[in-house]
């Protein structure tokens, strides 16, 4: 065996570029086909990693509890974030409030792997999202339609997720957002080039991004699904609708057997087109989170952000 | 119409599997397709039939490892490793192909296709992820554009292993370098993601190995 390092590098390391768009989007590419799980402490993070999560999302309270308890929801305590970082080897994401660039600066200082500028927390700015180009750390943002997705990308988001309606255990909103985004992408690819200017106006999105989507037939960054997923079949559904990975929030730790359910959702996400396998992993998972009808909600988190 | 026997002949669109349990599978499939290979995703044991080479993509190695165990793919993969099938692993793929993994999970799968000891996330967290121009031995046409994402590094190499490229672990000029591209026989591994920059030259090296095996 040769134990390395054995010699000095000929090239210097100064030619390394960090925090580039490719490096930021690159981590999102690596999460594809996987499940990112909301966790509020180190113990839950460990359960998530053991179940095969590709990343965990650190937050103070899962969305279902934010709905139940009310009040202002903020970035999580740095001590909790660090506890989670120390507990697992997979990437750790954390949420900052919409427009709250100082929370984002704190999360960057904590060296989290991804920041979610999230409508699940109480927005801090009613006009502007964070200027994400100014950060070395990559951002994920929620979107309900293609225009919103492209506006977030123009602000520097390296990953887009549907907003869905977090904390409801109800997948209907995530499906609506996903169908809206992928449906408009399909229409845009067949539009006459002259019509793209009309699309840009209608979507309220920069023309260069509209052109890119029209030519490539996909967003310039990966598209994941979030908001209301609670079962393995929910994951299989949104993956078949074009999501490239899934976020699961309250759905896991508000169920009766989080470890088993988490593992089953991981399997169903990886094998989303294998119904026999989804059936197999869905057996005997215990009680899923109760969930709510969208019409009964006092707060619609998906309406936050613009 | 190409018969299945013709398809198995070298030079005629070799069939290359890409392990498709999790990770950036699509990028590998498209790089391979651009090089004229017939690239297929591998999710279940039957997907391995007729495959002449295998790519293990980037992704989260712990998640891929768990999915490998539950997918019944492991025995098939172990047999292909024993048969000396040409393989390319990038990042998580390199970790899984190695003999020993440091800073991994105790139950993590290592196929031992290449005699390496690797360390996961050796550069640190995402803030330390980077891209650079990297000269690689045996790769013509200038340096590769190498994208390192929470990348692993090689801590030690066995006697049969060729080191094709190295980088220092930290950014200080003149810091000691660790291997990041290695090969042993028909198995090629890289700690970075050539598929993210669309650089197909390591995939071409894999296809050359497949052709050599067939010839």
Note the ipTM here: 0.93
3-class SS of residue A13: helix
Active-site entry in A10, A24, A46, A95: A95
Q: Are A47 and A263 in contact (CB under 8 A)?
A: no
Separation of alpha carbons B46 and B57, rounded Å: 19
Q: Which residues from A are below 8 Å from B179, CB to CB?
A: 4
Residues A260-272: tens digit of each pLDDT: 999 999 999 999 9
Q: Are A164 and A171 in contact (CB under 8 A)?
A: yes
| Bridge partners for A162 per DSSP | A143
Cis peptide before A186 (omega within 30 of 0): no
Chain A within 8 Å of B144 (Cβ-Cβ)? no
Q: Which residues from B are below 8 Å from A31, CB to CB?
A: 59-60
pLDDT of residue B2: 39
Which residues of B are known to be catalytic? 91, 193, 195
Sign (positive or negative) of CA dihedral A233, A67, A119, B124: negative
- The owner of tokens 């109760």 is A290
* A63-66: long-range pairs with CB below 8 Å, 24+: A63/A38, A63/A120, A63/A166, A63/A167, A63/A249, A63/A250, A63/A301, A64/A167, A64/A168, A64/A169, A64/A249, A64/A250, A64/A254, A64/A289, A65/A167, A65/A250, A66/A120, A66/A121, A66/A167
State the average pLDDT for chain B.
92
Residues A43-100: tens digit of each pLDDT: 999 999 999 999 999 998 888 888 888 889 999 999 999 999 999 999 999 999 999 9
Residues A228-278: tens digit of each pLDDT: 999 999 999 999 999 999 999 889 998 999 999 999 999 999 999 999 999
Q: What percent of chain A has pLDDT over 90?
A: 83
pLDDT of residue A10: 53
Separation of alpha carbons A282 and A269, rounded Å: 12
3-class SS of residue B133: strand
Q: How far is CA B115 from the centre of its chain?
A: 14
pTM of the entire predicted model? 0.94
Q: Which of residues 42-81 of B touch A (CB under 8 A)?
A: 43-44, 58-60, 62-63, 66-67, 70-71
Q: Which residues from B are below 8 Å from A263, CB to CB?
A: 66
Which is nearest to A140 in space by CA: A125, A152, A123, A128?
A152
* Range list of H helices, chain A: 21-30, 42-51, 63-69, 78-87, 101-109, 146-154, 172-190, 196-203, 207-216, 232-240, 250-253, 258-270, 275-282
Fold observed for domain B4-212: Rossmann fold (3.40.50)
Separation of alpha carbons A135 and B136, rounded Å: 31
Residues B79-100: tens digit of each pLDDT: 999 999 999 999 999 999 999 9
């Amino acid at each position: 065996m040769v134990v390395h390092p054995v010699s000095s590098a000929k090239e210097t390391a100064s030619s390394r570029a960090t925090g580039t768009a490719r490096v930021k989007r690159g981590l999102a590419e690596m999460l594809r086909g996987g499940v990112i799980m909301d966790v509020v402490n180190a113990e839950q993070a460990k359960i998530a990693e053991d179940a095969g999560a590709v990343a965990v999302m650190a937050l103070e309270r899962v969305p279902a509890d934010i709905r139940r308890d009310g009040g202002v929801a903020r970035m999580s305590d740095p001590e909790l974030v660090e506890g989670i970082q120390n507990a697992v080897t997979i990437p750790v994401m954390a949420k900052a409030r919409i427009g709250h660039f100082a929370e984002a600066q704190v999360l960057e200082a904590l060296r989290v792997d991804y920041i979610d500028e999230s409508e699940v927390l109480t927005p801090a700015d009613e006009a502007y999202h964070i200027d994400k180009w100014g950060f070395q750390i990559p951002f994920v943002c929620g979107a309900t339609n293609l225009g919103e997705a492209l506006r977030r990308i123009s602000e520097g988001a390296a990953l887009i997720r549907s907003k869905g309606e977090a904390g409801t255990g109800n997948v209907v909103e995530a499906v609506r957002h996903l169908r809206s985004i992928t449906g408009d992408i399909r229409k845009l690819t067949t539009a006459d080039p002259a019509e793209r200017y009309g699309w840009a106006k209608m979507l309220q999105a920069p023309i260069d991004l509209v052109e890119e989507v029209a030519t490539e037939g996909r967003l310039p960054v990966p598209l994941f699904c979030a908001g209301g997923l609670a079962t393995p079949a929910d994951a299989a559904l949104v993956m078949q609708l074009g999501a490239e990975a899934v976020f699961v929030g309250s759905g896991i730790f508000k169920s009766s057997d989080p470890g088993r359910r988490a593992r089953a959702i991981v399997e169903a996400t990886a094998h989303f087109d294998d119904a026999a396998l989804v059936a197999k992993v869905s057996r005997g998972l215990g009680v899923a989170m109760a969930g709510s009808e969208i019409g009964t909600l006092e707060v619609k988190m998906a309406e936050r952000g613009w | 119409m190409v018969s299945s026997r013709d398809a198995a002949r070298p030079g005629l669109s070799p069939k290359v599997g890409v392990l498709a349990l999790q990770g950036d599978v699509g990028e590998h499939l498209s790089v391979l397709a651009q090089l004229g290979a017939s690239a297929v995703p591998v999710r279940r044991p039957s997907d391995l039939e007729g495959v002449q080479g295998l790519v293990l993509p980037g992704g989260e190695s712990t998640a891929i490892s768990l999915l490998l165990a539950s997918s019944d793919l492991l025995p098939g993969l172990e047999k292909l490793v024993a048969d000396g099938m040409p393989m390319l692993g990038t990042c998580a793929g390199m970790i899984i192909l190695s003999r020993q993994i440091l800073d991994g999970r105790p139950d993590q799968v290592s196929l031992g296709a290449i005699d390496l000891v690797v360390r996961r996330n050796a550069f640190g967290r995402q803030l330390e992820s980077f891209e650079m121009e990297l000269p690689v031995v045996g790769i013509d046409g200038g340096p590769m554009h190498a994208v390192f994402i929470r990348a692993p590094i090689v801590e030690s190499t066995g006697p049969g292993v060729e080191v094709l490229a190295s980088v220092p672990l930290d950014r200080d000029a003149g810091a000691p370098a660790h291997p990041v591209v290695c090969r042993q026989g028909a198995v090629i591994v890289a700690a970075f993601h050539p598929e993210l920059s669309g650089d197909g030259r390591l995939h071409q090296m894999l296809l050359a190995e497949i052709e050599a095996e067939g010839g």
